[in-house]
């Protein structure tokens, strides 16, 4: 700065008036590690000067720089650059004190913005690396709630990072806003809600596939009762799960109570003889045997059955108590049957729905129903991911709802 002022005195004389100074760094990345430049804005009050004809801008000299030292009056103000710093930066126009003040204020604002962006990036990086020390309290609580519910850590941290980028400071301290925006982001990442459709060609063939013990048979009984008693649909049930005697016995009891026909197919070749009864129905619910990952003959047999039936919908049934890794393994195992929708059971056996939510975010498949008990009819609902999100994220604002409400 001293060198810059000396240069001004040298070029404009001892009567020069300093109007403003500004220091900045130029070059580097985001102006970091750049070279330091000093800009001095000065003028000379020429009252009483003899050489009045040599100045053409209202009697006021404009700031000068090294490139114009040989000319007088100078045609434009220039920024002075300290020795050893290559490439000066020239400013144009007449000197205006208000303009200088505005430019200095703008420089301060830009510096604040750079600092804020750097802070946000640092916070986001800390969140992704697992360090929550730098997170705003509501976002730290949200991240803890999501991870405690069993939600995949990668998904939870991605949501937090998006909120860091999108929310303003006042919004971050409002727990309701934080939860709502997090809920919206998660819902957008999930598949649609899609119960069984009763439009189009009749009968509607709907198959239910999934591992042993996932609740396929009980779910079919719940849906058959609701469609028959509440929606007045003509329902038939077809089972190809002939390996488990108890499964057939359950369905026989349910169908007898509901007064709906039950068809039992032991092989794909028996299906044509059942079609006259099936064709009279609005919907046929197809029960299939459970299958483990190593039971390839069973899976091949199911493929043959479904090729004969040609269902319009195939629901992959999984218990919500299943771990996220196991859900993905089940999905991969049953993918050969081309499931089109997800159905989750046993929501009454846990209050942590993170694995379910994480799986639906990754699979991006429509979700049809949730079941949460053994009562037939009853204890099921059209899927409502929003309610589960509110329950799992609601600890932050106390807005959680009762399960099954």
Q: Is residue 276 part of a domain?
A: yes
- Domain extent for 265: 204-383
Most confident of 82-91, 159-168, 220-229, 368-377: 220-229
Q: Is residue 388 part of a domain?
A: no
Q: Is residue 176 part of a domain?
A: yes
Q: Could you give the percent of the chain with pLDDT greater than 70? A: 67
Residues 74, 154 share a domain:
no
Residues 357, 211 share a domain:
yes
**Mean pLDDT score, 122-151:** 73
pLDDT(379) > 70 = yes
* pLDDT recorded at residue 288: 92
Overall number of domains in the chain: 3
Residues 361, 234 share a domain:
yes
pLDDT(367) > 80 = yes
Q: Is residue 197 part of a domain?
A: no
* pLDDT recorded at residue 381: 93
pLDDT(345) > 90 = yes
Select the more confidently predicted residue: 39 or 284: 284
Stated pTM of the model: 0.64
Residues 142, 28 share a domain:
no
Residue where a domain stops, chosen among 44, 76, 95: 95
Residues 340, 237 share a domain:
yes
Residues 150, 51 share a domain:
no
pLDDT(98) > 60 = no
3-state secondary structure the chain: CHHHHHHHHHHHCCCEEEEEEEEEEECCECCECCEEEEEEEEEEECCCCCCHHHCCCCCECCCCCHHHCCCCCCCCCECCCCCCCCCCCECCCCCCHHHHHHHHHHHHHHHHHHHHHHHHHHHHHHHHCCCCCCCCHHHHHHHHHHHHCCCCHHHHHHHHHHHHHHCCHHHHCCHHHHHHHHHHHHHHHCCCECCCCCCCCCCEEEEEECCCCCCHHHHHHHHHHHHHHCCCCCEEEEECCCCCHHHHHHHHHHHHHHCCCEEECCCHHHHHHHHHHHCCCCEEEEECCCCCCCCHHHHHHHHHHHHHHCCCEEEEEEECCCCHHHHHHHHHHHHHHCCCEEEEECHHHCCCCHHHHHHHHHHCCCEEEEECCCCCCCCEEECCHHHHHHHHHHHHCCCCCCCCC
Q: Could you give the percent of the chain with pLDDT greater than 90? A: 33
pLDDT(177) > 70 = yes
């Amino acid at each position: 700065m001293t060198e810059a002022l000396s240069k001004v005195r040298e070029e404009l004389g001892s009567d020069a008036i300093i109007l403003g100074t500004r220091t900045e760094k130029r070059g580097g990345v985001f102006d970091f590690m750049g070279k330091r430049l000093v800009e001095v804005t000065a003028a000379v009050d020429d009252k009483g000067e003899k050489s009045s004809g040599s100045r053409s801008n209202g009697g006021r000299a404009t700031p000068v720089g090294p490139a114009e030292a040989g000319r007088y009056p100078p045609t434009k103000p220039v920024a002075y650059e300290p020795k050893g710093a290559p490439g000066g930066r020239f400013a144009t126009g007449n000197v205006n004190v208000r303009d200088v003040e505005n430019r200095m204020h703008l420089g301060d604002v830009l510096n604040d913005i750079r600092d804020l962006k750097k802070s946000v990036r640092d916070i986001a990086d800390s969140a992704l690396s697992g360090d929550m020390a730098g997170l705003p309290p509501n976002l730290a609580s949200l991240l803890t709630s999501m991870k405690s519910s069993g939600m995949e850590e990668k998904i939870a941290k991605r949501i937090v990072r998006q909120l860091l980028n999108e929310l303003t400071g006042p919004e971050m301290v409002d727990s309701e806003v934080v939860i709502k925006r997090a809920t919206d982001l998660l819902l957008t990442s999930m598949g649609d809600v899609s119960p069984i459709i009763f439009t189009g060609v009749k009968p509607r063939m709907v198959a239910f596939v999934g591992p042993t013990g996932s609740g396929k048979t009980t779910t079919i009984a719940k849906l058959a009762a609701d469609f028959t008693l509440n929606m007045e649909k003509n329902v038939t049930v077809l089972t190809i799960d002939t390996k488990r005697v108890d499964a057939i016995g359950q369905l026989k009891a349910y169908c007898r109570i509901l007064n709906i026909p039950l068809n039992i197919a032991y092989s794909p070749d028996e299906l044509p003889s059942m079609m006259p009864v099936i064709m009279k129905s609005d919907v046929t619910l197809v029960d299939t045997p459970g299958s483990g990952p190593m039971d390839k003959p069973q899976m091949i047999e199911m493929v043959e059955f479904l090729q004969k039936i040609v269902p319009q919908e195939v629901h992959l049934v999984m218990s919500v108590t299943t771990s996220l890794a196991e859900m993905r393994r089940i999905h991969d195992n049953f993918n050969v049957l081309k499931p089109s929708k997800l159905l989750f059971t046993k929501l009454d056996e846990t209050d942590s729905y993170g694995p379910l939510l994480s799986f639906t975010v990754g699979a991006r498949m429509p979700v049809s129903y949730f079941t949460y008990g053994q009562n037939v009819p009853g204890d099921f609902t059209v899927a409502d991911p929003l309610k589960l999100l509110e329950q799992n994220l609601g600890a932050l604002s106390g807005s959680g709802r009762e399960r099954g409400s």
